[in-house]
Chains A and B, each alone.
Chain A
Amino acid sequence: MATILGIESSCDETAAAVVVDGHDVRSSIIASQVDLHRKYGGVVPEIASRAHIEKFDAVIAEAMDLAEVSPGDIDAIAVTTSPGLIGSLLIGVTAAKTLSWYWNKPLVAVDHVLAHVCSPAIDGGPGIWPAVALVVSGGHSSLYRVDDFNAIERLGQTIDDAAGEAFDKVATILNLRYPGGPEIDRLAKRGDAGAVAFPRTMLGRESLDFSFSGLKTAVLYHVNGPGKTSGGLEKLNEQQIAHIAASFQEAVVDVLVRKTMRALDRTGYDNVALSGGVAANSRLRAKMEAACADRGASLYAAKLAYCMDNAAMIAALGERMFRQGQIVTLELDASARC
């Protein structure tokens, strides 16, 4: 049994968590910067880095206090080292290295996306493997074959925009508030998902890759007219905008669900692990649940608290890695890419 302090700062959330034994989450603190970035319609890297510096001391202290642990109780420190915004990652890595040196604790380097992949196992337990894992967020839309925490193979990824990026860009086209995902989810509940027949890009019968760029352009043209990029939104009423949001969301969800089922066919597995920020989308959760039920498969969706960026998933995967002896030195660096 190991107690891990997890540290995460790959994008715009400053997070720290204390997790025991890879599943017992004693604390998970997230300081969101959403308000800071709202006026820019997206995360601004420089603002993000500065905010991480300001918040980390308090966030780590709160995570330790809430979990009622002292430095002596911590067995190792797990930190996100890639991928993400390099300036943001470096703040977390520096905090982790400093604590590792000062408390004399081993350091574990965790990949942010693999932590998302494994996040449904925080509550589901290691028994959910083997599974097909779908990670959908602002930066990723990928399918994985997961045999165990340390046996993960990517089966497909986006060839252009990530699903969450498509949500954000369509929200921009529809002039909705940032972040776009929750706004479209909310608006879609009042719209008809069949109102507009947006394209479902499947990239051939075999592919497990995704493409959402054409869908984004289809929404742009539906709003403004073919080949036009402005002037159409003013002519639409609220109900029409809700129909567009619902139809767009349905197109994204359809593709995500169909490709996940395709990956189940390919692997012969019976479990689906769903995670990442877009996994918080209510329509995706509902349709994935129904599609799994139809074929007798089981869905393990990450708890909403572990869909958004968080440090509990870093500590949870970090615990498995720590027990396998995957320790790094203080030479540790961060990397923007996977």
Chain B
Amino acid sequence: MTDEHRLTTHSPADTHAVGARIGASLCGRACIALDGPLGAGKTQLTKGIAKGCGVGPDVTVNSPTFVIVNEYAGRVRIFHIDAYRLSGCEELDAIGFDEMLESDSVVIVEWSDRVASIIPDDHLAIRMEHAGDTIRDIRIRATGERSRRILGALSGLS
């Protein structure tokens, strides 16, 4: 089984659909490190993941930049963290990152490179890049047993 999956999306709706596929494959504890430059579609992908995790259509999934962490209830609970403004791992620790990880929830960390040392070894690393006006390259990498199983469930994604 390969540890990496690459795909290309051609619109925000496309990116959202990929997110929904990822969300649908999640059934419990998972950590997703979500990285990519401004405007790459991180929020769009997260909206899709939330949908796939069963978060209702009446719930608005928006940027957590201001409050650092947003929480959504679905089939699986989601914590959506934006580490953009964090100066280090202590702050993520202070808002209860460990408890989130241990609560059988999906924890999505945007700008995870700013808090790399606190991200669990076994996580799903998603890297998004601009590849054209509405085109995005998405690279999904597994780094351990748990994330490999999630990636396996995603096979066939194109």
Contacts and interface: CB of A to CB of B under 8 A. Distances in A.
Nearest to A214: B12
B67 interface: yes
- Nearest first, the 3 closest Cβ-Cβ pairs linking A and B are A139-B66, A217-B39, A227-B132
Contacts of B135: 227
A40 B63 contact: no
B145 interface: no
A45 B38 contact: no
B67 A165 contact: no
Contacts, number: 95
A145 interface: no
B85 A160 contact: no
A47 interface: yes
B67 to A, nearest CB: 5
A169 interface: yes
Interface residues of B, number: 32
A159 B62 contact: yes
11 contacts: A43-B85, A46-B91, A85-B68, A139-B65, A158-B63, A159-B62, A160-B62, A162-B62, A165-B63, A172-B38, A336-B95
A11 B67 CA distance: 9
Contacts of A43: 85
A46 B85 CA distance: 10
A229 interface: yes
Interface of B: 12, 37-40, 43-44, 60-63, 65-71, 84-88, 90-91, 94-95, 130-133, 135
A85 B67 contact: yes
Interface string A158-176: 1111100100010011000
Given A42-B85, A213-B43, A162 B66 contact: yes
Contact of B68 (A45, A47, A140, A157): A45
Contact of A84 (B12, B38, B39, B67): B67
B38 A47 contact: no
Contacts of B91: 45-46, 87
Interface residues of A, number: 39
B62 A158 contact: yes
Given A213-B43, A216-B39, A229-B37, A159 B60 contact: yes
Contacts of B65: 139, 161, 165
Contacts of B67: 83-86, 139, 336-337
Contact of B39 (A40, A139, A229): A229
Nearest to A229: B37
Residue in B60, B67, B70, B131 whose Cβ sees the most chain A Cβ within 10 Å: B67
A231 interface: no
Contacts of B37: 229
B90 A46 contact: yes
B1 to A, nearest CB: 32
Nearest to A170: B38
A337 B71 contact: yes
Residue in B66, B71, B86 whose Cβ sees the most chain A Cβ within 10 Å: B66
Interface in A62-89: 83-87
Contacts of A236: none
Contact of B95 (A11, A86, A157, A173): A86
